[in-house]
Amino acid sequence: MVGAPQPRPGRAEEHRRLEEAVLARDADTAAQVLVQYLTLTATGLTESTHPGESTHPDTGTATSHSGPA
What are the pLDDT digits (tens) for 11-31? Answer: 889 999 999 999 999 999 999
Give the model confidence (pLDDT) of 29-54 as tens digits.
Answer: 999 999 999 998 888 888 878 777 65
What sign results for the dihedral spanned by CA atoms 45, 50, 55, 60?
Answer: negative
Return phi, psi of residue 52, to 5°: 90, -5
pTM of the model: 0.60
